[in-house]
Structure 1
Amino acid sequence: MWAARLAAHCLLLAAATTPLHARAAEESESQPPAAQAPTWSGAVSAYLNLPRSSDAYVTGIAIANRGALHLEARSNYEGKDAYSFFAGYNLSAGEAVRLDVTPILGAVTGSTNSVVPGFEAAVTGRYADAYVEFEYVPNAKPSSYTYAWTELAFRPVDWFRIGFAGQRTRVYENGRDLQRGVFAQVKGKRISAAVYCFNPASHEQVIVISSAFSF
């Protein structure tokens, strides 16, 4: 009996003299970790447009994402000397085949002034992907207009994409609303570069050279 009492007293003494920080560490290890707050990610891209029938210019696009929040700014996209700003909501589904959709709403100012609704969407598989940017500019001059950029790509390896591209725009002064062509892109961990050739073998040919940095 006395041995059991002695053991109980020893256990109580050890518990009372255990450092508080040691007990706190043990308690924290036994509890599930708190959910981490979402972090910022995004990319900055520049597109050098080289239309055969008009002057060269640069289109800039900056994107920032934090969880479901999507922010974006563009220059020379809806038109030369036009500047647009958007906010959107990121949605995604699927694993083997992934679908990402981002409805956006923004405004354009400069050479064109309007409220602009639109969306961005991508379908990504193991060796192929498709992407589209779409926006409607109700007050574009001389009339309302739909702008779009699309890509359909094959990826034989993770760092290389090749495929078809299309662009509906009024910026090029070649009499075509829809530009069709091919492209190739190389991708690193943070930096990527691509070359697009729209309307190949035509007097209305447009070469676009892009570079992007992601974070």
Structure 2
Amino acid sequence: MSPRYAALAALLALFAHIGPAHSAPADDEDDEDEEEIADTPASPSLTPPAPAGASAVVTKREDHAAAEDDKPETTLGVSFSYYAMRTEADFLTPVITLDHGPLHLETRYNYEAIDTGSFFVGYTFSGGDTVSFSITPILGAVYGDNAGVAPGLEASVSWKDFDFYTESEYYIDHHDHHRNYLTSWNEIGWRPIPPLRVALVTQRTRTVDEGRDVQRGALLQWTLKRGATLGLNFFNPTSDRRYTIGSIAFQY
């Protein structure tokens, strides 16, 4: 007899032996064993239920997986925006964000003002299903050519292919309250296809002095693979003071 048929015969003999053993009356010791097996949670991936030792290992693995799922997610974001100006010098604005669960950290340069940096701490509240939202109150310190504090807010709402995003802050100067200033960036966006997002944008900022209190423009964004996004902004398109912002952002 070949080894394959010998193994098959041995397996059939084993099942034939196990079958009567389960159907025969059990003594007290067998009852205790059956009680232990009944009290042991069955593994969903094993049929029939695994023995107590194996079941305990599976349960621990499931608990560990659940604990891993409960761990706060950490996300790092890096973006660079290049302002191509017509009436003043070009400049670059880098922004770095770190989110660990609801904790939000952010640092910027040339955002509140030229040659000025800032660091923010915030806490994110988010939720929703059909309409999702995210609200992050922030508080920051501003340093460099301008020095002060800046409470603010970052928030977004999305529904289907539409979304609204805003980030605003009120800069409070340490030395001169006449330099206090509100800066704001607002977008209303739409995704006609998954990688493409188009938006109408308004901003009020100190970094650009174009003779307008609120500047208006349009934004095109294209999401690449691996979390990279390219952006192109056109502000004041009908004015002699128009300018363009090219941006690239990465998320890890």
| TM-score, structure 2 normalization | 0.75
Pick aligned residue for 2:115 from 81, 85, 97: 81
- The amino acid that maps onto 2:246 is I
User: Which position in structure 2 is the counterpart of 1:211?
Assistant: 248
CA contact (8 A) 1:170 1:177 kept: no
Residue aligning to 2:171: 137
Check if 1:187 corresponds to 2:223: yes
After superposition, the Cα gap between the structure-2 partners of 1:137 and 1:27, relative to the gap in structure 1 and judged at 3 Å, is: closer
CA RMSD between the two structures: 2.8
| Structure 2 counterpart of 1:100 | 134
Mapping of residues 59-208 of structure 1, within 5 Å = 59-139=93-173, 143-189=179-225, 190-208=227-245
Q: How many residues align?
A: 211
Quick one: structure 1 residues 95 and 23, their matched pair in 2 at CA, closer, same or farther if it must change by over 3 Å? closer
**Mean CA deviation greater in 134-143 or 193-202:** 134-143
If each structure's helix is expressed as a fraction of its own residues, which one has the higher value? 2
SS in 1 for 2:54: helix
The equivalent position to 1:5 in structure 2, one of 27, 33, 40, is: 27
User: CA separation in 2, counterparts of 1:169 and 1:155?
Assistant: 27
Deviation sequence 1:13-38 (CA, Å, 0-9, x none): x99xxx99636315536869335311
Q: CA deviation at 1:125?
A: 1.2
SS at match of 1:138: strand
Distance 1:127 1:20, change over 3 A: closer
TM-score (norm 1): 0.87
Q: Residues of 2 paired with 1:6 and 1:125: CA distance?
A: 64
Give the letter for the 1:22 counterpart. A
Does residue 43 in structure 1 map to residue 80 in structure 2?
A: no
RCO comparison, higher one (Cα < 8 Å, 6+)? 1
Task: Specify the code of the residue in structure 2 equivalent to 1:202.
Answer: S
Question: For residues 30 and 158 of structure 1, what CA distance do their matches in structure 2 show?
Answer: 35
- The unaligned stretches of length 5 or more in structure 1 are none
TM-superposed deviation, 1:4: 3.9
Deviation at 1:210, TM superposition (A): 0.6
Q: Which runs of 5+ in 2 are unaligned?
A: 1-24, 38-50
Describe the SS at the equivalent of 1:211: strand
- State which drifts further: 130-139 or 20-29: 20-29
**Structure 1 stretch 191-200 or stretch 90-99: which is displaced more?**
90-99
Q: Which residue of the partner structure matches residue 20 of structure 2? A: none
Give the percent of matched residue pairs that are identical in Structure 1 and Structure 2. Answer: 34
- The 2-side partners of 1:213 and 1:70 are apart by 17
Secondary structure at the counterpart of residue 56 of structure 2 = helix
Deviates more, 1:22-31 or 1:42-51: 22-31
Tell me which structure has the larger Cα radius of gyration.
Answer: 2
CA separation of 1:82 and 1:25: change in aligned 2, threshold 3 A:
same
